[in-house]
Structure 1
């Protein structure tokens, strides 16, 4: 099974000739901030829906029984590879409070589903491993690809919510500004290949979940 990053690279190569600017894959996201009985965050739960081109490419040959439908079982190997490969990129999920970072553990409860128009949605839960904010303490969760190979846009309806949160706690979404025309022209392959390792260019396109309690 091919790692997701290699799949993404192949997808770009198969795209129309002359397509030279980042990003190359688009994801529509929904997220949940999950709390425990002690009032502290315990996990972030994601549902990421991939664009049509990537969904079509990634699922080629996976319909084992040839019935024209992709079951969770048929997609399980791809889901496994996806979450394993994304560990290198911290699952594009960065938790922060004050000057500290929330550390997430390996994902659990992950699976892929094929929805309307064959679009793939990856579901997974990131448990908090270390540095959970204290009950009632504000924090933020940023979702972005540092390399800007993958572009995240949160859903227009119900993009984020809390689960089992203490009374008075809620989450707001701060969406990034889209690159203007001048900036978009600069986002070529040569531009990104010239960036230093760890440049974190994609941070400026972060979707930020702001969690506060009254």
Structure 2
């Protein structure tokens, strides 16, 4: 995913299909199917974002080889705890791949208390929950998404229903936005230089390329 994960866990992942969301020299090596559930409070503020990522077979097998210390071809509780710790530390500096905006402005999120790693049907699953730092009312346009700013991991919402809000009030409408990569690149061409994409610290272009859930809400007067 990022530098620490690349060196310790992803060496065997190899090259993968070229991504359509970046120049040919920049493409993901790790793939995950995701689900995002937005939880609301009774007062129509956002309580939390619940994330579930299911990683591809190749990356999952790499994790198994790396963390299966007793070589029994499975991950026991202590080994899964080590996976959790490694992933948690690795993605923390990237805001846990979360993208949340209110009327186009970034919304600060609290770091999750931790995350859970599981291994099911030979695939690594990561689950965690994060809350906004300040109350986030359902008013205006709010976008929720997930994206790796280093372009190393492709996190895909295969179905629109995998971006979900429980009990969305009538003041809001919802829409899943899947940006057209060519249009996004064309609109930001002057910024998307090789140096930009090869910055090891990652980029701030997440909100441009990310599939996202958009809520448009009219606050009650």
TM-score range, shorter chain: 0.7 to 0.9
Equivalent position to 1:124, from 128, 137, 147:
128
In the TM superposition, residue 160 of structure 1 has moved relative to its aligned partner by: 1.6
Residue deviations 1:68-90 (CA, integer Å, cap 9, x gap): 44355541221122123211001
- Note the 1:114-153 alignment, pairs <5 A: 114-116=119-121, 118-130=122-134, 132-153=135-156
Q: Conserved in 1, the CA contact under 8 Å of 2:14 and 2:29?
A: no
Give the strand-richer structure, 1 or 2: 1
Q: Please list every run of 5 or more consecutive structure 2 residues that lacks an aligned counterpart in the other structure.
A: 18-24, 187-191
Equivalent position to 2:92, from 73, 87, 102:
87
Residue deviations 1:8-30 (CA, integer Å, cap 9, x gap): 34555434579865111111110
1:55 matched to 2:66? The reply is no
Change (3 A) 1:136 1:11: same
> Does the residue aligned with 2:86 lie in a helix, a strand or coil?
helix
> Does the residue aligned with 1:29 lie in a helix, a strand or coil?
strand
1:200 matched to 2:204? The reply is yes
In the TM superposition, residue 36 of structure 1 has moved relative to its aligned partner by: 1.2
How many residues of Structure 1 are paired with residues of Structure 2 in the alignment?
Answer: 205
- Note the 1:1-214 alignment, pairs <5 A: 5-9=3-7, 13-16=11-14, 21-60=26-65, 62-63=67-68, 68-71=73-76, 74-108=79-113, 110-116=115-121, 118-130=122-134, 132-156=135-159, 158-167=161-170, 169=172, 171-177=174-180, 192-193=197-198, 195=199, 199-213=203-217
Residue deviations 1:87-140 (CA, integer Å, cap 9, x gap): 100111121112432211111362111122x1111000011112x332454311
**TM-score computed with the length of structure 2 as normaliser:** 0.74
Distance in 2, Cα, partners of 1:67 & 1:17: 28
In the TM superposition, residue 45 of structure 1 has moved relative to its aligned partner by: 0.7
Q: Please list every run of 5 or more consecutive structure 1 residues that lacks an aligned counterpart in the other structure.
A: none
Distance in 1, Cα, partners of 2:200 & 2:211: 23
**TM-score computed with the length of structure 1 as normaliser:** 0.76
